[in-house]
Structure 1
Amino acid sequence: MTYELAQVTPIILMLNVHASRVNDLTQPDTVVTDPPVPMAGYHDGFGNWCTRLVAPAGRFTIRTDGIIRDSGQWDTRDASAREVAIPDLEPETLVFLLGSRYCETDLLSETAWKLFGQSPPGWARVQAICDYVHDHISFGYEHSRATRTAAEAFKERRGVCRDYAHLALAFCRCLNIPARYCTGYISDIGLPQPHAPQDFAAWIEVFLEGPSGGRWHVFDPRNNDPRIGRILVARGRDAADVPLSLTFGQHTLTNFQVTADEVAGSPGT
């Protein structure tokens, strides 16, 4: 990412892989800046790793590059997973039942119950939500708007991956299913050519109960199909909690490039 900064600018970054994937790194994804500046890290309230720095005025570039070992398997499905009754939910999941900056459960609750109230509870209901959102919203980078909420995405029927995620999150929460926002890398490994331009991506995780107990399951309303090499960077209530970069000053983003490729000759990486 390259910025043109009008003045000295504090920045907070979320660019390193999530703590749950750190042990899979075979080459650390160290953040490097040009020009170099001092940096400090911390964990936010959701456990995401953040980097703080103060950038000088002018041209400023931020990059990170790492290698991570992945299973090479497609996203898993568990069609038998059940919804968990609210009294039985783990306390840390309860915040993901609430409305948030981009997910207005109060505005969408009636719609959610009309659309999905008769769907079989559990995995099938969440998949019905993802199917609906995938078909309801038309994707296009030209439709990107940082202020668009779930209710607006429902009305406008267009957006980018974060809008798909926000609408699916809001519907799940309206139906008393804990759901959280995820951001990270989604590779094109195993998919036919031609590939679309790469980018960071947003998906969701939903708390359901299977034979081994309750856990978070991945759903992807934007792509609505399994992927190989889904690498988590951060989780939160919605996009407001997990910005890739948060700049505290006037700036222009002049270059942005994302690459997620399989390393040749390294099976399982």
Structure 2
Amino acid sequence: MNVLIRLGYEIEITCGQPTEVIALLDPHPDLAGNMVRSSGVQIEPSVPNRTYIDPYGNSCLRLTAPAGAMRLSRDSLVEVEGRPDQWDETAQECSVSDLPDEALGYLLASRYCETDLMMAQAWELFGNVAPGWTRVRAIFDYVNSHLTFGYEHARATRTAAEAWRERVGVCRDFAHLAITLCRCMNIPARYANGYLGDIGVAPNPAPMDFNAWCEIWLEDRWFTLDARHNEPRIGRVVIARGRDATDIPLIHSFGPHQLTMFRVWTDEAHEAGFPALQ
């Protein structure tokens, strides 16, 4: 059975001068057929804008933010599968020589995933663990227990090696560390972000936020795993995928900006109850 999810955002940034901006905030192009209803992107004040597809297949909004405040908002209803992330305890690793071209690049180091710094540690921890799903689960269990989550620990420049040393982080740090350890073990791993509501789990009283998780290549496909929550979840809606957070920033400005408003929502919904964004 599928579920309807109402999701969206209201974000305001302030720039001191006209500034080029790229934003990745809306569901991935793969989900275009899942869109039931949408307000479309609302931009205040209205400025010329366009979307393009980046090398990773993500939809990017491009515009020039004026000096002063600019607000971006969108309210959508999306239909997705109502079952949790699909795991397969029998899934096996591929030898590097058998990996498809699309997965091979996700073995390499990237801005926040320093495989060169973590290689020895990864093999010490997981070299004797049975390869395949067992090894992947061991990595995610380790990251989940090694790091302490807290919004107060957020730091945009923290790398996987730094998170491992500091033992704290937010969801992107959990993802970066798990990705790095998998890559060190020759398991392709990529970074994903998107919407994840409290569907099928106890409500979290913290304000809603975007989430980051991982996609791991085993056998012949990508599997979704989440080192922070560390269990299959219902209702993930992917925004973008890349090597790490560098490739898919929610908002990237080519000059300084201040975030002056941030609101995100992701809730199970019914089409009959879809009031306009307030």
Instruction: Give the TM-score category using the shorter length.
Output: over 0.9
Preserved contact between residue 74 and residue 226 of structure 1 (Cα < 8 Å): yes
Match of 1:184 among 194, 199, 216: 194
Aligned to 2:135: 125
Aligned to 1:105: 115
Corresponding letter in the other structure for 1:123: W
> Secondary structure in 2 aligned to 1:26?
strand
- 1-structure distance, mates of 2:176, 2:256: 27
- 1-structure distance, mates of 2:204, 2:100: 43
Aligned to 1:240: 246
Match of 1:58 among 68, 76, 83: 68
- Residues 141 and 32 (structure 1), Cα distance of their counterparts in 2 relative to 1, 3 Å cut: same
Match of 1:169 among 168, 176, 179: 179
Cα drift, residue 264 of structure 1:
3.2
Percent of aligned pairs sharing the same letter:
50
> Secondary structure in 1 aligned to 2:267?
coil
- 1-structure distance, mates of 2:106, 2:82: 29
- 2-structure distance, mates of 1:35, 1:70: 32
Q: List per-residue Cα deviations over 1:138-159 (Å, max 9, x = no partner).
A: 1111111111000000000001
- 1-structure distance, mates of 2:205, 2:199: 10
Preserved contact between residue 198 and residue 204 of structure 2 (Cα < 8 Å): no
Aligned to 1:26: 36
- Residues 249 and 225 (structure 1), Cα distance of their counterparts in 2 relative to 1, 3 Å cut: same
Corresponding letter in the other structure for 2:93: E
| 1:11 equivalenced with 2:21 (yes/no) | yes
- 1-structure distance, mates of 2:18, 2:204: 41
Q: List per-residue Cα deviations over 1:67-126 (Å, max 9, x = no partner).
A: 110111111110000001111110111110000000000000000001011111111111
> Secondary structure in 1 aligned to 2:118?
helix
Corresponding letter in the other structure for 1:252: Q
Corresponding letter in the other structure for 1:246: H
Cα drift, residue 22 of structure 1:
1.3
Preserved contact between residue 2 and residue 59 of structure 1 (Cα < 8 Å): yes
TM-score, normalised by the number of residues in structure 2: 0.92
Cα drift, residue 261 of structure 1:
0.6
Aligned to 1:151: 161
Match of 2:227 among 209, 215, 221: 221
Corresponding letter in the other structure for 1:238: D
Corresponding letter in the other structure for 1:263: A
Corresponding letter in the other structure for 1:19: P
Corresponding letter in the other structure for 2:56: F
Corresponding letter in the other structure for 1:105: T
Preserved contact between residue 38 and residue 74 of structure 2 (Cα < 8 Å): no
> Secondary structure in 1 aligned to 2:125?
helix
Preserved contact between residue 42 and residue 51 of structure 1 (Cα < 8 Å): yes
Relative to structure 2, which stretch is displaced further, 28-37 or 56-65? 28-37
After the TM superposition, which residues 255-266 of structure 1 pair with which residues of structure 2 at under 5 Å, given as runs? 255-264=261-270
Aligned to 2:101: 91
Q: List per-residue Cα deviations over 1:244-266 (Å, max 9, x = no partner).
A: 11112222101111100111367
Aligned to 2:146: 136
> Secondary structure in 2 aligned to 1:70?
strand
Cα drift, residue 201 of structure 1:
0.4
- Residues 244 and 29 (structure 1), Cα distance of their counterparts in 2 relative to 1, 3 Å cut: farther
Preserved contact between residue 186 and residue 260 of structure 1 (Cα < 8 Å): yes
After superposing on structure 2, the runs of 4+ consecutive aligned residues of structure 1 that deviate more than 6 Å are none
Relative to structure 2, which stretch is displaced further, 231-240 or 56-65? 56-65
Unaligned runs of 5+ in 1: none
Preserved contact between residue 189 and residue 228 of structure 1 (Cα < 8 Å): yes
